[in-house]
């Protein structure tokens, strides 16, 4: 067994193997085509486009209620993996099953179980208020009427934006937009919540408040399955119970954070070890 | 069905709220159309003694001919571009990914994104026609309303089909959509919007046979200016019906296929 394989900790040794996985990825490969240059188009018009492999044969299972920190260097494939699980991308090979639905065959049904918190600040309509944005995105998630209004009121309260609901997005700070993105991700009460670098644009105070919000209110109240891509290790330690380390499209390590404390290893050491193991 | 109606209403409300934030834009667009109308009004005054046989089929006067050409050519052009424009706008503003991560089908998202444009364009169309009739004296009193409405609906369906095809081209090519360029660009010149097709050289008249707006405008002028019945405009109607029957399902299928390809290649949100 190689060092990197040893880091991929089996999930069954924690007594949680009884639960069926809510997400399973089997041999998932994602290749992005590279646009042909004019020279290539003229010289080799029929040659297939070259591709860039973002994920290569990923296999993993995520259990209900897991809080997973997805770590890895820039360009490792973290966002691609999250988008594949969220059904925004479809795998080149392999299959991803979310809550029993294959994202390729039953994309809409699979997406029902997933709420996506995009880190893109511009993913809102800036000339609309926070509430109007949620009204629109709620309708896309099959909510309307009193049910939608009640849900919006509940969520705006949950993320602490009840006072700013009527303000247009252009007047929101980055932290407020991120909270609104969280409210949008939760609007259809998904079982899985995906957060892609949620604190990237936040100052330390806003970041801390955001983490408190996720841990204290979202996770404590609903026990949702969380997948959080991040570069901040302290964030991973604070929010998650498992860590998934990806590099160059491969899973380098996947295990319980609690095991690290038992082995007296810090997450930074574990992370470094996972990346170095591959380099060797 | 209820979900579809609620979602459609959500798109219309959202776009209306955004558009109403740009207070002058709607009025400016109507003012622009009216200014073009004034241009054609004076041009037609100059041409009254030379209208000859080219306009005889449509009542012999240039201004009503140009009024219908201007109003509908602009509306059909909007119908042609609205899908690709809404995709591109959603890509550029960053909202496309958020909409695609919702529980609404991707094709439905794009189709519903264009509903507001279709409605606001129809309002503009009506304003232009009413202004043409009441301010500039275009005689629309002989209009066969049911026949006109059917021709309008069929024409909208035709341009929606081309519009969806154009949206597929935008998803695939990102920029430089050839469908709008061919159907929209060539249509404005060869479709007979501003002058009768019969004044063009014979070979150009033959080329115009493949321009769909030619059939729409011909049928609309006949039903609106001369009060023709549906039977009397059967030929252009049959042509439009044939285009819709073949092209609408084909364009929807092609669009769905390009969306699927975009999802597989990760290029859907690229612009």
What chain A holds in terms of domains, given with CATH numbers, is 3-113+190-279 (3.40.50.300)
Q: How many residues does chain A have?
A: 280
Does A148 score more than 70 pLDDT?
Answer: yes
Q: What is the mean pLDDT of residues A223-236?
A: 89
Does A6 score more than 50 pLDDT?
Answer: no
> Across the interface, do B101 and A86 touch by the CB < 8 Å criterion?
yes
Higher pLDDT, A150 or A3: A150
Indicate the residue of A108, A123, A125 with minimum beta-carbon distance to B105. A108
> Across the interface, do B7 and A124 touch by the CB < 8 Å criterion?
no
Q: Which of B101, B111, B113, B174 to mutate to test the interface with A (most CBs of A within 10 A)?
A: B101
Indicate the residue of A80, A89, A141 with minimum beta-carbon distance to B103. A141
Q: Which residues of B touch A49 (CB under 8 A)?
A: none
d(CA B241, CA B239): 5
Cβ–Cβ under 8 Å, residues B247 and B161? yes
User: pLDDT value at position A19?
Assistant: 63
d(CA A118, CA B27): 36
User: pLDDT value at position A3?
Assistant: 40
d(CA A129, CA A126): 8
d(CA B119, CA A98): 39
Across the beta sheet with A67-71, what order do the strands follow?
Answer: A114-117, A192-196, A225-229, A67-71, A242-247, A250-256
Q: Which of residues 134-173 of A touch B (CB under 8 A)?
A: 135-137, 139-142, 144
Confidence of residue A8 (pLDDT cuts 50, 70, 90): very low
d(CA A186, CA A193): 7
User: pLDDT value at position A235?
Assistant: 87
User: Residues of chain B whose pLDDT is less than 70?
Assistant: 48-52, 271
Q: Which residues of A touch B13 (CB under 8 A)?
A: 135-136
CB pairs under 8 A between A and B: 91
β-pair type (A192-196, A21-33): unpaired
Q: Which residues of A touch B17 (CB under 8 A)?
A: 127-128, 132
pLDDT in tens, A115-141: 998 877 778 999 999 999 999 999 999
User: pLDDT value at position B50?
Assistant: 52
User: pLDDT value at position A7?
Assistant: 45
Cβ–Cβ under 8 Å, residues A175 and A203? yes
Q: What is the mean pLDDT of residues A40-59?
A: 88
d(CA A80, CA A10): 23
User: The dihedral of CA B99, A100, A214, A207: what is its sign?
Assistant: negative
Q: Which residues of B touch A50 (CB under 8 A)?
A: none
And the tokens for B143?
């209009």
> Across the interface, do A137 and B103 touch by the CB < 8 Å criterion?
no
Does A34 score more than 50 pLDDT?
Answer: yes
Would an 8 Å CB–CB cutoff place B93 in contact with chain A? yes
Residue A103 Cα, gap to closest chain B Cα (Å):
11
Would an 8 Å CB–CB cutoff place B57 in contact with chain A? no
pTM of the model: 0.85
Does A176 score more than 60 pLDDT?
Answer: yes
Would an 8 Å CB–CB cutoff place B112 in contact with chain A? no
d(CA A162, CA A130): 10
Residue A91 Cα, gap to closest chain B Cα (Å):
6
> Across the interface, do A88 and B109 touch by the CB < 8 Å criterion?
no
User: pLDDT value at position B150?
Assistant: 95
Residue B169 Cα, gap to closest chain A Cα (Å):
16
User: pLDDT value at position A10?
Assistant: 39
Confidence of residue A234 (pLDDT cuts 50, 70, 90): confident
């Amino acid at each position: 067994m190689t060092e990197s394989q040893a880091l991929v900790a089996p999930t069954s040794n924690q007594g949680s193997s009884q639960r069926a996985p809510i997400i399973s990825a089997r041999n998932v490969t994602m290749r992005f085509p590279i646009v042909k240059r004019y020279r290539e188009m003229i010289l080799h018009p029929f040659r297939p486009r070259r591709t860039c492999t973002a994920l290569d044969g990923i296999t993993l299972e995520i259990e209900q209620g897991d809080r997973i920190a997805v770590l890895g260097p820039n360009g490792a494939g973290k966002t691609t993996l999250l988008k594949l699980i969220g059904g925004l991308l479809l795998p080149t090979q392999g299959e991803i099953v979310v809550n029993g639905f294959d994202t390729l065959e039953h994309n809409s049904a699979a997406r029902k179980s997933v709420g996506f918190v995009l880190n893109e600040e511009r993913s809102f309509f800036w000339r609309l208020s926070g509430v109007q944005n949620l009204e629109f995105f709620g309708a896309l998630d099959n909510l309307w009427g009193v049910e939608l209004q009640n849900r919006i009121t509940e969520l705006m309260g949950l993320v602490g934006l009840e006072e700013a609901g009527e303000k247009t997005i252009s007047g929101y700070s980055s932290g407020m937009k991120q909270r609104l993105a969280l409210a949008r991700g939760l609007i259809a009460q998904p079982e899985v919540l995906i957060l892609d670098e949620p604190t990237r644009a936040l100052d330390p105070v806003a970041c801390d408040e955001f983490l408190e919000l996720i841990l204290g209110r979202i996770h404590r109240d609903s026990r949702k399955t969380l997948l959080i891509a991040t570069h901040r290790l302290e964030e991973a330690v604070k929010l998650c119970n498992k860590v998934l380390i990806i590099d160059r499209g491969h899973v380098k390590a996947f295990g319980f954070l609690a095991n690290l404390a038992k082995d007296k290893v810090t997450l930074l050491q574990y992370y470094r070890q996972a990346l170095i193991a591959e380099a060797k | 069905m209820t979900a579809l109606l609620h979602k459609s209403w959500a798109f219309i409300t959202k776009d209306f709220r955004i558009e109403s934030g740009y207070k002058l834009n709607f009025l400016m667009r109507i003012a622009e159309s009216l200014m073009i109308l004034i241009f054609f009004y004076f041009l037609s005054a100059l041409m009254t003694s030379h209208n000859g046989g080219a306009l005889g089929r449509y009542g012999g006067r240039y201004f009503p001919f140009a009024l219908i050409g201007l109003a509908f050519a602009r509306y059909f052009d909007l119908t042609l571009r609205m899908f690709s424009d809404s995709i591109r706008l959603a890509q550029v503003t960053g909202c496309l990914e958020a909409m695609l991560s919702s529980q609404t089908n991707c094709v439905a998202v794009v189709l519903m994104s264009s509903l507001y444009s279709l409605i606001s364009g129809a309002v503009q169309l009506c304003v232009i026609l009413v202004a043409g009739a009441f301010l500039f004296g275009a005689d629309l009193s002989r209009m066969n309303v049911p026949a006109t409405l059917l021709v309008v609906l069929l024409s909208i369906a035709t341009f929606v089909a081309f519009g969806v095809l154009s949206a597929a081209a935008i998803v695939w090519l990102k920029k430089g959509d050839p469908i709008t360029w061919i159907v929209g660009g060539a249509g404005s010149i060869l479709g007979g919007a501003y002058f009768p097709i019969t004044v063009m050289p014979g070979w150009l008249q033959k080329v115009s046979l493949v321009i769909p707006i030619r059939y729409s405008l011909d049928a609309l002028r006949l039903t609106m200016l001369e009060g023709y019945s549906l039977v009397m405009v059967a030929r252009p109607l049959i042509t439009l019906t044939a285009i819709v029957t073949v092209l609408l399902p084909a364009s929807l299928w092609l669009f769905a296929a390009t969306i699927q390809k975009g999802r597989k290649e990760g290029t859907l949100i690229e612009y």
